[in-house]
A and B are shown apart, each in its own frame.
Chain A
Amino acid sequence: MGAPTGEQAVTLPVLVIGAGLAGTVAAARLQARGVPVRVLADRPGATLLHGGGWQLGPDALRESHPAAEAALDDALDFVRIGLESLALTEGLFDLPDVEGARRACELAPATHAVVDGFGKGHAVADLSPLGHPFAAMQGRGTVVTVEWPPYPDVFGRSFAAMAHRLEADPTEPARLIEALKRALKGTRHDALLLPPVLGISRTEALRRQVAAALGIPVGEALDALPSTPGFRLHAALTAWLNAARVPMQTARVASISLDPLGVQVGDLLVPARAIVLATGRYLTGGLTMHPAVREPLADLPLTPSVPTNPLWHARTDGPYDGRVFETGVGHDPGFRALGLDGRPVHPHVYAVGDLLGGGDTLTQASASGMCIASAWVAATTIADGFATGEKT
């Protein structure tokens, strides 16, 4: 197969397709290792739906890939520094979301993680003009009614919409603090639980500001749909890529060419040294379902394999048949994408993140850990190869 050779190969960039969690980690890691890299992304996907609680495992990845498992700690350190604005905190958490569910997770932005320490004496802020009964409040502390935001037109809007408003208007945080002070006046609470409204890009700073003004710890619940933590993650990833000066391009990739190696964008074939597929699952089109379940860019086979028409085999009487959600692109220990013969489809084509399937979001919910570790290992493999190639 046509791996570009000689000088050309060294100057060609690695193309990372997708700028979600996996794509960003891979690109940032490659950039940090001095490998020329470019990110091609069309539109955000499941990243924006991230609920705020990061689950790292266990999943198929960690069971079958000791290399990825071993790399997870290094990868996590890298991510924590890269996503500094989120102030990711490790621990064994059981955090409430705004809809009243509890989410077990091993990593969370500080604004959520701090909630784990809240005791019986904490207060729960019910932002009454929004009209949402903040379901996490049920049986969890004293409900205080907060008259924020003070506008008549926000009724029924989501917490994520309010977080955006707080982000856009520099005078808004002060108004929120005033409203909270009024609501808490004359009461004594150990801490305050808010729904996730504390802006998008400066949440941790804002949280500290609010806590300092109120004189008690302040934290936020995890979110549902639409998800404030998802927007924050998306913003933090974009900021990371910008700070690392990774070239980014908005482009819809139509297909991948293996010989010569490159990606087809419109009429243009963009040549590449290596390609990292971080295109997500069904939501973003990393996997599509029509006319059959397939990987559309390189037509990679899926494992565990699903029938051409999974319907014929769908178990409908029992619990969820997760096969169609667990399936994904097969990979070797270095996260090269596998072809039909079980060998890498190309020595320089990698697949990372949700595209690999593995964890079913419903039953295992381990996507964050898999995204990070697979992207890290793939980037390391590429960079190691690059280093060797440069020497020879």
Chain B
Amino acid sequence: MLDLIVIGGGVNGVGIARDAALRGLKVALFDQGDLGAGTSGASSGMIHGGIRYMETDRDVTRLSCLDSGYIQAIAPHLLFRIPFVFPILDWTPAARRMHELAYVYFQAYDAFQPLKRGKRAAKLDRESLLRIEPGVNPNVVGGVTTDEWAINVFRLCTLNALDAQAKGAQIHLRHRVESFLRGPGGAVRGVRVRDLVTGHAREVEARITFNATGPWAGRVADMAGAKVELRPGKGIHLVLDRRIVNYALIASAVDGRQVFLEPYGQETWIGTTDDDYYADPAEVQATHDEVEYLMQAVETVYPRIREHRLVRAFAGVRPTLHKYGPHEDALSRAHKVFDHAGEGAAGLMSMGGGKLAAYREMSQHAVDDICTKLGVTAQCRTHLLPLPGGESTPVPQDIARQAQIDTYTAARLIHRHGACSAQIVERIARDPRQRRLVCLCEPVTEAEIRHCIEHEWVHSLEDLRRRTHCGGGACQGARCARQAAHLLAGYQGGGPERAETLLADFVQARWREQAPVLPHRALSQMEVTRWALRPGSKP
């Protein structure tokens, strides 16, 4: 019998699975879809230090910065620095005082920056600000700057899952939990899951079942007659085809909320919204109003934003803890572990709330509680042990030389795989033709695609996009999707027909993200992409 079943393959689910496996528990994880495909993958990707908590609880800020430092230490290759610039618009007579106050605030944050290798704040006058970012609205008194880190969320989820698996956990994706197995007194003693690919159902027993399904937590707990009270909040992000700035800009939306324009890897992201959301989290999608809300906000600090090219908009649902009264934005980002023993569902636990940056700490909290129940005394080590590939970060030139790929391709490979890039290099050494680029935008080699298919639970082209970003760039798969579909179909044994099915699913999934920004200067691309990915004739 297992010690622990984790439901949900988001960053918390895999974080819990890894932590528990490292403490010697026997773990199985089930997710109805893919790793990080829900809330985690729809986040802003920030491992921030919690600067906003400095006015309510400095300890939260300190702990957030500490944890940001831990995550850097265990997966240095996944993180990248994002300098933040807060332009102070010359809108009110108090603008100069605001400028000074904001700087004091950012300076106070400097006390925590060393915990996460952060850089000190700076106060920029108007000329300096316009020099470092010519696109900024000239109607400013100046700006203040600070420093944060962002992470590749999909890789973070994948690496946690890989490490959990390496420590003995079973990872089952595309498995839906249909019901709980109940024991004496209604105690939850496991789950009945259905493999959505084969259609087979089976029963799995464990001493603890942990519900880490984020915005689905209420629905899952409900199957056991238990309650997880959430106030789900929808958030969307817009993705531009490339970096248009090197520094993130903070802007005020029409309702006073803060939104940002951030360079994220090779792209630029605009986020985010926060609205109460009551529908099925699986159906969440950006709407035109939300796109307009963000564009309007960013326009105040970056006036030419509408001339840039939007590629897609993604949406997700925050599993915020329930509170009646406050505005969405004012809700606490705290998390909570629920023990449903008092509701006649002993053995079932859930988690709600939280934020991406705190995933490791939240997982630790959850596993601490699980271990207390199980009487296990092992301590958490997830902040000490590197994630796969995090042991060391290779030099791009070395990888480029060994694999005979260009240095840029090597640098991007290292960003995703860290020290594990060596495995892809080895694969290329065995078959040099696999150094060929399938995705030119990201770029991604055939060897990496094969590596991910073989080792990282890739079942669809969307899964592959999450692992490698292949098909997620500006061309949205025009050049790579069909080739990738044939590679994947080769493993799944379906032949060219299977490739067509994979491709059709991919096109549909991309459309969900493209449609909200459709006419935004990208119809020429859509014309090419639609042509390139049009279905073949039936044999």
Say which one of A13-21, A173-181, A312-320 lies at the interface with B: A312-320
- Assuming the contacts A312-B288, A314-B518, asked whether A99 and B437 have C-beta atoms less than 8 A apart, the reply is no
A242 at interface, CB cutoff 8 A: no
Chain A, 1-60, CB within 8 A of any chain B CB: 46, 49
A170 at interface, CB cutoff 8 A: no
Contact: B516 with A361, CB < 8 Å?
no
- Assuming the contacts A282-B526, A310-B519, asked whether A135 and B486 have C-beta atoms less than 8 A apart, the reply is yes
Chain A, 215-254, CB within 8 A of any chain B CB: 224-225
Contact: B478 with A225, CB < 8 Å?
yes
Contact: B516 with A281, CB < 8 Å?
no
Contact: A138 with B521, CB < 8 Å?
no
- Assuming the contacts A94-B537, A131-B433, asked whether A139 and B496 have C-beta atoms less than 8 A apart, the reply is yes
B482 at interface, CB cutoff 8 A: yes
Chain A residues near B526 (CB, 8 Å)?
A: 282, 325
Residue in chain A with minimal CB distance to B534: A362
Chain B residues near A316 (CB, 8 Å)?
A: 285, 511-512, 515-516
- Assuming the contacts A225-B532, A320-B511, asked whether A139 and B495 have C-beta atoms less than 8 A apart, the reply is yes
Chain A residues near B512 (CB, 8 Å)?
A: 316-317
Give the contacting residue for A49; candidates B495, B519, B531; CB below 8 A.
B531
- B492-536 vs A, Cβ < 8 Å mask (1 yes, 0 no): 000110011000000110011001111111111011101111111
Contact: B437 with A156, CB < 8 Å?
yes
| Residues of B contacting A: mostly | helix
A285, A310, A314: residue with the most chain B Cβ atoms closer than 10 Å = A314
Contact: A102 with B537, CB < 8 Å?
yes
Contact: A293 with B519, CB < 8 Å?
yes
Contact: A289 with B519, CB < 8 Å?
yes
Chain A residues near B511 (CB, 8 Å)?
A: 316, 319-320
Contact: B516 with A314, CB < 8 Å?
yes
Residue in chain B with minimal CB distance to A306: B519
- Assuming the contacts A102-B539, A310-B519, asked whether A325 and B530 have C-beta atoms less than 8 A apart, the reply is yes
Contact: B528 with A100, CB < 8 Å?
no
B479 at interface, CB cutoff 8 A: yes
A101 at interface, CB cutoff 8 A: yes
Complex CA gap A49/B478 in Å reads 12
- Assuming the contacts A282-B527, A283-B527, asked whether A324 and B532 have C-beta atoms less than 8 A apart, the reply is no
Chain B residues near A324 (CB, 8 Å)?
A: 518-519, 523
Give the contacting residue for A100; candidates B436, B496, B531; CB below 8 A.
B496
Complex CA gap A316/B513 in Å reads 8
Complex CA gap A139/B511 in Å reads 31
A65 at interface, CB cutoff 8 A: no
Chain A, 146-165, CB within 8 A of any chain B CB: 155-156
Complex CA gap A221/B290 in Å reads 45
Complex CA gap A100/B485 in Å reads 10
Complex CA gap A290/B519 in Å reads 8
- Assuming the contacts A314-B515, A325-B527, asked whether A99 and B486 have C-beta atoms less than 8 A apart, the reply is yes
Interface size bracket, B side: 35 or more
CB distance from B239 to the nearest CB of A (A): 16
A133, A309, A363: residue with the most chain B Cβ atoms closer than 10 Å = A133
Chain A, 308-352, CB within 8 A of any chain B CB: 309-312, 314-317, 319-321, 324-325
Contact: B518 with A311, CB < 8 Å?
yes
Chain A residues near B522 (CB, 8 Å)?
A: 289
- Assuming the contacts A102-B539, A361-B527, asked whether A319 and B519 have C-beta atoms less than 8 A apart, the reply is no
B397 at interface, CB cutoff 8 A: no
Chain B residues near A311 (CB, 8 Å)?
A: 288, 291, 515-519
| Residues of A contacting B: mostly | loop
Complex CA gap A338/B79 in Å reads 56
Chain A residues near B495 (CB, 8 Å)?
A: 138-139
Contact: A100 with B539, CB < 8 Å?
no
Residue in chain B with minimal CB distance to A131: B436
Chain B residues near A293 (CB, 8 Å)?
A: 519, 523
B300 at interface, CB cutoff 8 A: no
Complex CA gap A58/B75 in Å reads 55
A103 at interface, CB cutoff 8 A: yes
- A63-87 vs B, Cβ < 8 Å mask (1 yes, 0 no): 0000000000000000000000000
Residue in chain B with minimal CB distance to A314: B515
Chain B residues near A225 (CB, 8 Å)?
A: 478-479, 528, 532
B296 at interface, CB cutoff 8 A: no
A99, A317, A361, A365: residue with the most chain B Cβ atoms closer than 10 Å = A99
B483 at interface, CB cutoff 8 A: yes
Complex CA gap A133/B433 in Å reads 9
Complex CA gap A248/B490 in Å reads 49
CB distance from B492 to the nearest CB of A (A): 13
Complex CA gap A99/B480 in Å reads 10
Chain A residues near B517 (CB, 8 Å)?
A: 311
Complex CA gap A192/B537 in Å reads 23
Residue in chain A with minimal CB distance to B482: A99
Complex CA gap A386/B206 in Å reads 87
A168 at interface, CB cutoff 8 A: no
Chain A residues near B516 (CB, 8 Å)?
A: 311, 314, 316
Chain B residues near A99 (CB, 8 Å)?
A: 482-483, 486
Contact: B518 with A100, CB < 8 Å?
no
Contact: B518 with A224, CB < 8 Å?
no
Chain B residues near A290 (CB, 8 Å)?
A: 519-521
Complex CA gap A293/B518 in Å reads 11
- B104-138 vs A, Cβ < 8 Å mask (1 yes, 0 no): 00000000000000000000000000000000000
CB distance from A353 to the nearest CB of B (A): 14
Complex CA gap A102/B486 in Å reads 13
Contact: A362 with B530, CB < 8 Å?
yes
Contact: A104 with B508, CB < 8 Å?
no
Contact: A282 with B524, CB < 8 Å?
yes
Chain B residues near A363 (CB, 8 Å)?
A: 534
Complex CA gap A79/B528 in Å reads 25
A128 at interface, CB cutoff 8 A: yes
Question: Closest 10 interchain pairs by CB?
Answer: A101-B536, A316-B515, A104-B537, A282-B523, A131-B436, A362-B530, A289-B523, A99-B482, A314-B515, A282-B524
| 18 A-B contacts (beta carbon < 8 Å) | A99-B483, A100-B482, A100-B499, A101-B536, A102-B539, A135-B486, A138-B486, A225-B478, A285-B524, A290-B519, A314-B515, A317-B512, A320-B511, A324-B523, A325-B530, A361-B531, A362-B531, A362-B534
Interface residues of A (CB under 8 A from B): 46, 49, 94, 97, 99-104, 128, 131-133, 135, 138-139, 155-156, 224-225, 281-283, 285, 287, 289-290, 292-293, 309-312, 314-317, 319-321, 324-325, 360-363, 365
Starting from the known contacts A135-B482, A314-B518, 13 additional A-B residue pairs (CB-CB under 8 Å) come to A46-B527, A100-B536, A104-B537, A132-B436, A133-B433, A156-B436, A311-B515, A311-B517, A321-B515, A324-B523, A325-B523, A361-B534, A362-B534
Interface residues of B (CB under 8 A from A): 283, 285, 288, 291, 433, 435-437, 478-479, 482-483, 486, 490, 495-496, 499-500, 507-508, 511-512, 515-524, 526-528, 530-537, 539
